[in-house]
């Protein structure tokens, strides 16, 4: 069990506060509507001049069914024509965004997320990829990562064949739980056979990676029931697996009001489910990537982590740290150079901008040098459980101990608790096995925007 985290119940109880997931630093909470829009354009033009590789994200917000646990930006409808006007606006955004870039910039990574991207018809998917290809430098081959989120209830073999033909080589399947009682309680009823059919198609058509999402903390789950689900998932052998914690926030997410809180497992049961699941996944050969992500040793994420090249962005853990990220569609987030921007989250506001030929950004942030330093630190910690202070000093021309004197006092407290180890020369921080599950807590030390008090109510629990 390589680099296996150690479960320490006392430490987890002490440190299990709320905090960011650090898909970005600064986090999206810091984005403001009063930001310099021109800085996005100038950074994009600089990206084009230097022929920097790109990562593209497209948000497809439509779902045929509402999953009661879901906190995503989505539009629930059974009317397939509902997506027609949205695609019209998305196509125009592709045209507008492409004016800032160069078609010779290779698109190394592309992801369709949602919502449910497979809500789109075969014709719509083909037209969308064709449109992207006309304006951005789509590639073919094993070196690219083109992924799409699937609902196994809506995907058959012909659709899988189409996705392969369009260049997608990775799929992400929302499973959540295989127990029929749990599925009914969250309105996500899908048979195991439907999931297996997608897997068979993906492997027959030589998709290079299969990712599955599971959620613990859903109604009616127990250690026994979730263990049964996990056993069957492990037999399916996905290349990557995410084990997400369900946060019940009905005051923020309306669909969650349909979940009976009395049916939810206790906090103690949730922790027991997670502890049992981590132990089982490690014993069955999965590598712990970080937070709630696992991968088989031969997967690109595990290889990149071993090589020290793993990165984290709004698509999660990624092997494409050198790419600029262009997000398109409602609520999508971009990061070009030192600039973050987010599109309008409301479909009508998004459409209004597009119809005026305006890039639909409504908030953003330009990083300061301090932001960049802290981002580099957090990325090293959350991806590699190690921080080379000397590397940070050399890259940014600072004296680490002086620059982060307050933070290092808190690091010392965590060292006393056994979460991490500062080497004798104070040149590196290494996260210890007991601290790996609490890596978000370590990262929070270096986040200057967080209140230095207790919980952060805007975020989920770290465990």
Instruction: Confirm whether 232 is domain-assigned.
Output: yes
- State whether 412 and 284 are in the same domain: no
Tokens of 75: 């539009």
Instruction: Confirm whether 123 is domain-assigned.
Output: yes
- 3 state DSSP class of 44: helix
Phi and psi (nearest 5°) for 11? -65, -40
How far apart, in whole angstroms, are the C-alpha atoms of residue 75 and residue 78? 10
pLDDT of residue 315: 81
Provide the sign of the torsion angle of the four alpha carbons 251, 254, 255, 259, taken in this order.
positive
Considering only the C-alpha atoms of the chain, give the largest distance between any 2 of them, rounded to a whole number of Å: 64
Instruction: Confirm whether 331 is domain-assigned.
Output: no
- State whether 161 and 172 are in the same domain: yes
- State whether 285 and 387 are in the same domain: no
Closest listed residue to residue 27, CA positions, set 312, 452, 308, 244:
312
pLDDT of residue 3: 65
Instruction: Confirm whether 308 is domain-assigned.
Output: yes
pLDDT of residue 80: 85
How far apart, in whole angstroms, are the C-alpha atoms of residue 462 and residue 19? 6
**Which domain, by its residues, includes 134?**
26-326
How far apart, in whole angstroms, are the C-alpha atoms of residue 9 and residue 138? 47
The CATH number of the domain holding residue 260 is 3.80.30.20
- State whether 9 and 41 are in the same domain: no
β strands within 201-357, DSSP E: 209-216, 240-245, 287-290, 293-295, 311-313, 316-318, 324-328, 333-336, 339-343
pLDDT of residue 453: 47
Instruction: Confirm whether 334 is domain-assigned.
Output: no
How many Cα atoms are found within 13 Å in the side-chain-facing hemisphere of 222? Answer: 4
Instruction: Confirm whether 30 is domain-assigned.
Output: yes
pLDDT of residue 461: 81
Instruction: Confirm whether 360 is domain-assigned.
Output: no
- 3 state DSSP class of 270: helix
State the residue for tokens 């020290």: 308
- State whether 318 and 417 are in the same domain: no
Closest listed residue to residue 71, CA positions, set 449, 331, 342:
331
Number of domains in the chain: 2
Positions in the chain whose pLDDT score sits under 70 = 1-3, 452-457
The CATH number of the domain holding residue 433 is 1.10.10.920
CA-based radius of gyration for the chain: 22
Phi and psi (nearest 5°) for 162? -60, -45
- State whether 151 and 7 are in the same domain: no
- State whether 379 and 256 are in the same domain: no
- What residues contact 147, with CB distance under 8 A and at least 6 apart? 110, 111, 112, 168, 169, 170, 171, 172, 209, 211
pLDDT of residue 455: 58
**Where does 64-219 have alpha helices with state H?**
83-98, 122-135, 157-165, 180-185, 192-204
- 3 state DSSP class of 371: helix
pTM: 0.95
pLDDT of residue 249: 87
């Amino acid at each position: 069990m390589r680099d296996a985290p150690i479960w320490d119940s006392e430490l987890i109880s002490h440190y299990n506060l709320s905090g960011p997931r650090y898909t970005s630093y600064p986090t999206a909470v810091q984005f403001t509507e009063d930001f310099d829009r021109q800085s996005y354009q100038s950074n994009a033009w600089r990206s084009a001049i230097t022929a920097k590789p790109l990562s593209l994200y497209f948000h497809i917000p439509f779902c045929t069914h509402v999953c009661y646990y879901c906190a995503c930006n989505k539009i629930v409808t059974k009317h397939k024509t509902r997506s027609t006007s949205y695609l019209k606006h998305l196509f125009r955004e592709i045209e507008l965004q492409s004016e800032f870039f160069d078609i010779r910039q290779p698109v190394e990574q592309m992801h369709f997320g949602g919502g449910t991207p497979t809500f789109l018809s075969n014709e719509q998917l083909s037209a969308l990829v064709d449109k992207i290809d006309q304006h951005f430098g789509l590639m073919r081959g094993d070196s690219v990562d083109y992924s799409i989120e699937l609902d196994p209830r809506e995907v058959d073999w012909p659709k899988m064949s189409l996705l392969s033909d369009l260049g997608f080589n990775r799929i992400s399947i929302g499973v959540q739980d295989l127990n029929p009682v749990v599925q009914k309680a969250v309105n996500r009823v899908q048979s195991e056979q439907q999931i297996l059919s997608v897997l068979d198609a993906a492997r027959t058509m030589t998709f290079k990676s299969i990712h599955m999402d599971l959620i613990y903390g859903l109604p009616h789950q127990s250690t026994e029931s979730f263990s049964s689900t996990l056993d069957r998932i492990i037999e399916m052998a996905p290349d990557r697996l995410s084990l997400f914690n369900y946060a019940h926030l009905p005051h923020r997410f309306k669909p969650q009001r349909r979940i009976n809180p009395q049916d939810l497992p206790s906090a103690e049961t949730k922790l027991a489910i997670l502890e049992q699941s981590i132990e089982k996944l490690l014993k069955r050969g999965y590598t712990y990537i970080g937070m709630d992500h696992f991968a088989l040793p031969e997967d690109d994420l595990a290889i990149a982590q071993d090589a020290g090249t793993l990165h984290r962005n709004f698509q999660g853990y990624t092997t494409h740290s050198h790419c600029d990220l262009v997000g398109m569609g409602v609520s999508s987030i971009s990061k070009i150079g030192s600039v973050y921007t987010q599109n309008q989250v409301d479909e009508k506001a998004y459409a209004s901008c597009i119809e005026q030929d305006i890039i639909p950004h409504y908030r953003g942030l330009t990083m300061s040098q301090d932001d960049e330093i802290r981002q580099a630190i957090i990325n090293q910690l959350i991806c590699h459980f190690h921080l080379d202070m000397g590397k940070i000093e050399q890259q940014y021309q600072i004296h680490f101990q002086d620059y982060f004197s307050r933070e290092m006092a808190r690091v010392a407290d965590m060292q006393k608790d056994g979460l991490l180890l500062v080497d004798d020369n104070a040149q590196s921080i290494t996260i210890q096995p007991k601290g790996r599950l609490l890596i978000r807590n370590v990262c929070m030390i270096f986040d200057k925007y967080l209140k230095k008090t207790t919980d952060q109510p805007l975020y989920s629990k770290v465990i």
